């Protein structure tokens, strides 16, 4: 079960660079896909940046809807993440195809992934130059929550339970195993 977290800590959900699944809507149809290039831009106000190819179905969905959700999957979802990245949302409803459960968001129209261990709901910040030149989508975080026991003011890889994962390329993923310092 997830719990709300202060927006000033939302950037820490993606600060370590975990795999994320971004969801939105296109003509009221849900879209979800893994996004590799993402980063926190600011913690006050909380702003997140995503780089998404302009021809991508999700890019069109975000521009149309004006919002999106960053869903942080646990490492148990690595196989599903690979599948989600292998098919276009323009060809299939990935939520249905891969039997993903969606849930309503608290502050935006886009759906959330029920099995995510972290959530950041974002409203699109239309920065024309970044969109046109670099396909960079900025989002103002308006709501965030994380799995109880997996996140306090940071992810807790030293505890048992669900963990974030990182993508190394191809079909190679890893999860943080222990604290180094």
User: Is 74 domain-assigned?
Assistant: yes
* 181 inside domain: no
- 8 found inside a domain: yes
Give a yes or no: residue 19 inside a domain. Answer: yes
| pLDDT of 171 over the 90 cut | no
Count of domains for the chain: 1
Contact 103, 112 (CB under 8 A): yes
pLDDT at residue 151, as a whole number: 94
- pTM value is 0.93
Q: What is the CATH number of the domain that holds 66?
A: 2.30.110.10
pLDDT confidence of residue 179? 66
Cis? peptide before 165, omega within 30° of 0? no
Q: Would 46 be classed as within a structural domain?
A: yes
pLDDT number for residue 170? 84
Give residue 151's domain range.
2-174
Residue 111 burial (C-beta neighbours within 10 Å; 0-12, 13-18, 19+): buried
Is residue 180 included in any domain, yes or no? Answer: no
Q: Give residues with Cβ within 8 angstroms of 172, minimum separation 6.
A: none
pLDDT at 13 exceeding the cut of 70: yes
Cα distances (angstroms) measured from residue 146 to each of 39, 56, 72, 133, 153: 17, 28, 9, 33, 10
Q: DSSP assignment, residue 100?
A: P
Q: Is there a domain that residue 145 lies in?
A: yes
Tell whether the model's pLDDT for residue 133 goes beyond 70.
Answer: yes
pLDDT digits (tens, 9 = 90+) for 61-97: 999 999 999 999 999 999 999 999 999 999 999 999 9
Following DSSP, what letter does each residue of 36-61 receive, concatenated? Answer: --EEEEEETTEEEEEE--TTSHHHHH
């Amino acid at each position: 079960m997830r719990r709300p977290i202060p927006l000033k800590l939302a950037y820490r959900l993606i600060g370590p660079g975990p795999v994320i699944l971004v969801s939105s809507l296109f003509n009221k149809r849900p879209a979800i896909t893994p996004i590799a290039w993402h980063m926190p831009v600011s913690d006050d106000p909380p702003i997140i940046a995503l780089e998404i190819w302009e021809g991508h179905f999700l890019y069109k969905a975000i521009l149309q809807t004006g919002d999106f959700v960053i869903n942080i999957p646990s490492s148990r979802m690595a196989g599903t993440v690979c599948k989600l990245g292998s098919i276009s949302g323009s060809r299939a409803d990935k939520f249905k195809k891969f039997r993903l459960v969606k849930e309503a968001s608290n502050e935006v129209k886009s759906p959330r992934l029920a099995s995510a261990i972290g959530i950041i709901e974002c409203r699109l910040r239309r920065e024309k130059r970044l969109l046109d030149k670099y396909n960079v989508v900025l989002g103002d975080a308006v709501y965030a929550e994380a799995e109880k026991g997996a996140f306090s003011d940071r992810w807790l890889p030293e505890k048992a339970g669900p963990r974030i994962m990182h993508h190394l390329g191809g079909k190679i993923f890893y999860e943080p195993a222990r604290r180094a310092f």
